Structure 1
Amino acid sequence: MDNTVESSVDLGFIEKCSDLCRLNRCYFPSKLGGKPAWLDPKHIPSVEDFICQSCLKQMVFLLQIYAPDGNNDKAFHRTIYVFCCKTGSCYKHGDNQPIKVLRCNLPRKNDFYSYNPPDYDNLSSSEDRGNIASLCHVCGLAGTKTCSQCKVINYCGKEHQRIDWKFHKPFCVESDTELHKKPGKERTYLFSENEIIIEAEEDFQDEDKNVESNAKSKTAAASLFDENDLQEFAGMCKEDKQFLKFQRRISHEPEQIIRYDRRGKPLWCSDNFIPQASNIPPCLCGSERVYEFQIMPYLLSHLNVDTTVEDETIDWGTIAIYTCSKSCSPDVSNDKLSYIPEFAWKQTYS
């Protein structure tokens, strides 16, 4: 019996970028950490949009995935942004409060990018087009506050101005604006910046379909254990069945950090806390949301977070991202935000 299953899933992997220019917004990157590369550089979300409702602290940019929608001309360019809280205790709750997801669409003809694709073989920082918003020097959100002394550096608020002062102070009176914008070497507020590369998942052998093998395993178990042991063993297998399936599937590519399969199904890490259709709220436009991709636990190894203290570290089994089925576009007249909130479902291990 051939148990080979053809996969429609694309996998995301971390790759250290030798030329950070490639992660500029003009190259439509998929990336981890650093500051967000905003697709729409004019209508930037504010800090108020990224307050964790559990600890009331500001979230930090985690990753973004460039995922155009070929069925919608207004989503010729389309990027999904994920932010997360850095307070580890927020992740011990069975809710999705520490995760925030935004989506942005642009048509091919827009105010910010050339109609033609960028030249990836000749990387260089492209000139900004259109009206570009000021960004916070620390986190990359809307920079509504300006340093009162140099009038060059912007911040999202007093908190990030305070965090950055020890790095900014030596250059605050300098006339060279490039010195002002130079990042401090000791900054640890953001996650390390790396590129996310996407590759198709190879076909795999589905062990769950090997009925003959499963039958032999049950027969062997029956000859080794008494009835009480078998009942306990059956309960354990039932509890761990989804986790074992999860482990087997990712074992083929253990370093995957993203599984992308829009309109497909997530690979859950546990039988517990799997959402029903009623748990996924509709988009602001009224359309249903569909599964788009999930964030895998291996990503945690790239965040340099302390995992030695239980309940005080960022943790998840998987995070499933759901987005508008129609990739709706908002009306950005009168400077309304063009970043639409989407939905994340955080699942932990049993």
Structure 2
Amino acid sequence: MSAMEDSTEKLKGVHISSLDEDDEVEEVVEVEEVVEEEEEGDDSEEGEPVTLGFLEKTKNHWSVSRQVFPSKAGGVPAWLDPVNLPSGRSCVCDICEEPLQFLLQVYAPITEKESTFHRTLFVFMCPSMSCLLRDQHEQWKRGQEKPSRSVKVFRCQLPCSNPFYSSEAPRNDGTDNPSGSGVSLYNWCGTWKGDKVCSGCKRTKYCSHKHQVVHWRSGHKIDCQQLSLLVDSSSVSNALWPEYEMINDDESEYDAEVSDYNIPPNSLVSRNKMDNTMNSLLDIFEVSSDKKCWASFQQCIARAPEQVLR
């Protein structure tokens, strides 16, 4: 199994534990007061239309380019503002201090306001399962002044009139081009600003010393002298997650009763949880409001099990 496949399999195996399960953990770290905010959001969701995100293989390379304002997962980010990128400690995991890896981005404009005519949310995470689990447990604990996070979300927004894009809507036919160029990115990860240069070939740019070490050990040590003779190098890390385009749908289209025959085998909710037990979960979890909320969430996503975003 390749490193990328192994990383993907580990990601699929992340277990979100309940509060009761966390009570049994010997070393539980800290939490922010994000839980209450999310619960309030769940209550207000009932009367609001909900948009779901589904992943599809990209059919055209331009469909995930920044000039068409894509929503996507995996690969490298299509930065909305290609100049003012996150830097410094914002780019690394607060726990292991390794560079974060791009997970997904969502184009979510608020066109009623001029300053948010273009708006994209970028999600990055540490590929280390131990960091993700520690982060999860920290979030259950309150009163943390400086939380350590292995998952970070960056928001970027631009007005309609900006130096990077036309004020006209993209044609989405492969002919769209950005109005302005961006900063040079690190050749290998294609994610962060490449403001450091290899002292050997003088061509390969790096975002951090740690990625430079990993790239050197993974092959640049051999290629370095040859690259100095080439016009350009297009090698990228094989640790990047596979790239998908995110397609949005209205949840109302999935309001029909969930039946066993249309549940895909790789859905977020397993087939054996879609039986009569699902209908009685809310009654079983009456004692705990947290469990009742979780059961309600499971029931909601059962309508469209392949959703990755809501």
- Per the normalisation by structure 2, the TM-score is 0.65
Q: Does the alignment pair 1:9 with 2:50?
A: yes
Question: Which amino acid in the other structure matches residue 137 of structure 1?
Answer: N
- Of 235, 238, 244 in structure 2, the residue corresponding to residue 182 of structure 1 is 235
- Of 118, 122, 138 in structure 2, the residue corresponding to residue 94 of structure 1 is 138
Residue 69 (structure 1) shift: 0.7
Residue 159 (structure 1) shift: 1.7
Contact residue 75 and residue 105 of structure 1 kept, 8 A: yes
Contact residue 24 and residue 125 of structure 1 kept, 8 A: no
Question: Which amino acid in the other structure matches residue 250 of structure 1?
Answer: I
Residue 244 (structure 1) shift: 2.4
- Of 248, 251, 258 in structure 1, the residue corresponding to residue 299 of structure 2 is 248
Question: Which amino acid in the other structure matches residue 109 of structure 1?
Answer: S
Contact residue 256 and residue 303 of structure 2 kept, 8 A: no
Residue equivalent to 1:119: 171
Residue equivalent to 2:28: none
Structure 1 pair 73–172 and aligned structure 2 pair: CA distance change class (3 A): farther
Between the aligned partners of 1:159 and 1:66, the Cα distance in structure 2 is: 30
Contact residue 170 and residue 176 of structure 2 kept, 8 A: no
- Of 267, 282, 287 in structure 2, the residue corresponding to residue 238 of structure 1 is 287
Between the aligned partners of 1:177 and 1:56, the Cα distance in structure 2 is: 33
Q: Would you tell me which structure has more helix in proportion to its own residues?
A: 2
Residue equivalent to 2:40: none
What SS class does the counterpart of residue 12 from structure 1 fall into? strand
Q: Does the alignment pair 1:258 with 2:299?
A: no
Listed one character per residue, the Cα deviations across residues 8-56 of structure 1 (whole Å, up to 9, x for unaligned) are: 0000001110222221111111111111111111112124212222233
Q: Does the alignment pair 1:35 with 2:76?
A: yes
Residue equivalent to 1:339: none
Q: Does the alignment pair 1:143 with 2:187?
A: no
Q: Does the alignment pair 1:26 with 2:67?
A: yes
Q: Which runs of 4+ in 1 moved over 6 A?
A: none
Residue 61 (structure 1) shift: 1.2
Listed one character per residue, the Cα deviations across residues 179-218 of structure 1 (whole Å, up to 9, x for unaligned) are: x12335xx11x222111111111263799xxxxxxxxxxx
Between the aligned partners of 2:250 and 2:100, the Cα distance in structure 1 is: 31
Contact residue 137 and residue 181 of structure 1 kept, 8 A: yes
Residue equivalent to 1:344: none
The size of the alignment, in residue pairs, is 226
Q: Would you tell me which structure has more strand in proportion to its own residues?
A: 1
- Per the normalisation by structure 1, the TM-score is 0.58
Identity value in percent: 36
Contact residue 8 and residue 200 of structure 1 kept, 8 A: yes
Contact residue 11 and residue 200 of structure 1 kept, 8 A: yes
Contact residue 81 and residue 156 of structure 2 kept, 8 A: yes
Residue equivalent to 2:89: 48
Contact residue 47 and residue 142 of structure 1 kept, 8 A: no
Contact residue 7 and residue 201 of structure 1 kept, 8 A: no
Residue equivalent to 1:110: 162
What SS class does the counterpart of residue 287 from structure 2 fall into? helix
Question: Which amino acid in the other structure matches residue 158 of structure 1?
Answer: H
Report which of the two structures shows the higher radius of gyration computed on alpha carbons.
1
Between the aligned partners of 1:191 and 1:256, the Cα distance in structure 2 is: 18
Residue equivalent to 1:64: 105
Between the aligned partners of 1:177 and 1:116, the Cα distance in structure 2 is: 35
Structure 2: which 5+ residue stretches go unaligned? 1-45, 140-146, 259-279
Structure 1 pair 202–155 and aligned structure 2 pair: CA distance change class (3 A): same
Q: Give RMSD over aligned pairs.
A: 2.9
